[in-house]
């Protein structure tokens, strides 16, 4: 279980996060919903070890969360343009996790094959479409067998027609028993996920809803309803 307990963060004296708390069970998806600048991507970056909290705690299975337990898929994918697709997946395995090269290549081949990219392993990122780049980024994140997977705005850099495909991939990841956290403002994506929705506004979580409960009784969650219909929460 991932426990995020009352975390706060300031940038240049501006309060970005203000006492954010949530829990994510293994095999479950937590969606941080909100507009630009509300703090949802900051939560993702903190989980990935890219930012430090000013106060609060983050625990995984009752121990402080470690960066090596987190896989990250960035909004713009952050692939290395000078490396092949295979090398993009193997590099963190070899450098960070000290995995022998042959073993790292085997892991990369299996993951790329599972995402329909086996024939692209010797290509470079500029040869790939946006959807293919995202699958490479996902394969790289999964290669380290993370307990927590973070996806920052997973559909923002893609053609809208790919949203349902992305949702299918994310829903399938639940079977890997990871804690999955997504930041997004994409309503279509959320409507296609089995998830818990956390509406973030001005650095705080102001409403929470299980996606199934929200679909059954939308009036019970007025702030999420307002956001989903394009109004400011």
Which residues span the domain enclosing 176?
Answer: 2-79+147-228
Q: What is the pLDDT of residues 185-204, one digit of tens each?
A: 999 999 999 999 999 999 99
Which pLDDT value is given to residue 222?
Answer: 96
Which pLDDT value is given to residue 58?
Answer: 98
> Does residue 221 sit within a domain?
yes
> Does residue 116 sit within a domain?
no
Give the residue-averaged pLDDT of 22-47.
96
> Does residue 69 sit within a domain?
yes
Q: What is the pLDDT of residues 3-22, one digit of tens each?
A: 999 999 999 999 999 999 99
Which pLDDT value is given to residue 190?
Answer: 92
Sign of the C-alpha dihedral computed for residues 178, 93, 58 and 186 taken in this order: negative
Domain count, the chain: 1
> Does residue 132 sit within a domain?
no
Which pLDDT value is given to residue 230?
Answer: 66
Say what the alpha-carbon torsion angle 162, 168, 169, 173 is, to the nearest 10 degrees: 160
Confidence of residue 65 (pLDDT cuts 50, 70, 90): very high
CATH number for the domain harbouring residue 163: 3.40.50.300
> Does residue 190 sit within a domain?
yes
- pTM recorded for the entire structure: 0.92
Q: What is the pLDDT of residues 37-60, one digit of tens each?
A: 999 999 999 999 999 999 999 999
> Does residue 123 sit within a domain?
no
> Does residue 181 sit within a domain?
yes
Q: DSSP state, 141?
A: H
* 232 pLDDT higher than 70: no
Best CA proximity match to 51, nearest among 1, 91, 6, 17? 17
Helix (H, G, I), strand (E, B) or coil at 55: strand
Separation between Cα atoms, residue 24 and residue 16, nearest integer Å: 21
Give the residue-averaged pLDDT of 124-140.
95
* 178 pLDDT higher than 80: yes
> Does residue 105 sit within a domain?
no
Residue found under tokens 């990871």: 178
């Amino acid at each position: 279980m991932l426990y995020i307990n009352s975390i706060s963060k300031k940038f240049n004296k501006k309060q970005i996060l203000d006492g954010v708390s949530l829990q994510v069970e293994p095999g479950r998806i937590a969606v941080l919903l909100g507009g630009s600048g509300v703090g949802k991507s900051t939560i993702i970056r903190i989980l990935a070890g890219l930012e430090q909290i000013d106060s609060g705690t983050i625990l995984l299975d009752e121990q402080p969360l470690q960066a090596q337990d987190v896989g990250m898929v960035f909004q713009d994918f952050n692939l290395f343009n000078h490396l092949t697709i295979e090398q993009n997946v193997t590099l963190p395995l070899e450098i960070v996790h000290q995995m022998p090269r042959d073993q790292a290549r085997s892991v990369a081949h299996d993951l790329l094959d599972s995402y329909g990219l086996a024939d692209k392993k010797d290509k470079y990122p500029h040869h790939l479409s946006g959807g293919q780049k995202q699958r490479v980024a996902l394969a790289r994140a999964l290669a380290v067998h993370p307990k927590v997977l973070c996806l920052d705005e997973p559909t923002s850099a893609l053609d809208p027609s790919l949203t349902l495909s992305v949702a299918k991939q994310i829903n399938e990841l639940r079977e890997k028993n990871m804690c999955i956290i997504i930041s997004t403002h994409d309503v279509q994506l959320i409507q296609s996920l089995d998830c818990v929705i956390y509406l973030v506004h001005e650095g705080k979580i102001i409403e929470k809803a299980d996606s199934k409960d929200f679909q059954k009784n939308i009036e019970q969650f007025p702030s999420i309803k307002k956001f989903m219909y394009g109004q400011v929460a």
